[in-house]
Amino acid sequence: MKKKACRKCKLFTEDDVCPVCKGQTFTTNWQGRIFFLNPKKSMIAHEMDVQNEGEYAIKVR
């Protein structure tokens, strides 16, 4: 089964509530994945507006 990603912040989670943005809408319709260890030092994380460490989808629908 495909992982689900938060629609709002794109974090992958198994929870019913996103631990980062507290969003409750998820999608399995995503493309690409990226792991940020140190998002505050990453340009890509900055462009994606990622503040927290974790695995994120690059694109969600």
| Helix runs in the chain, H state only | 43-48
By CB under 5 A, name the one of 5, 18, 48, 50 that touches Zn ion: 18
**Among candidate residues 15, 17, 53, the one with its CA nearest the CA of residue 34:** 53
Cβ proximity to Zn ion, 11 vs 48, nearer residue: 11
Q: Is 23 in the site for Zn ion (CB under 5 A)?
A: yes
Q: Is 34 in the site for Zn ion (CB under 5 A)?
A: no
Residues 51, 45: Cα–Cα separation, whole Å: 7
Binding interface with Zn ion (CB under 5 A): 6, 8-9, 11, 18, 20-21, 23
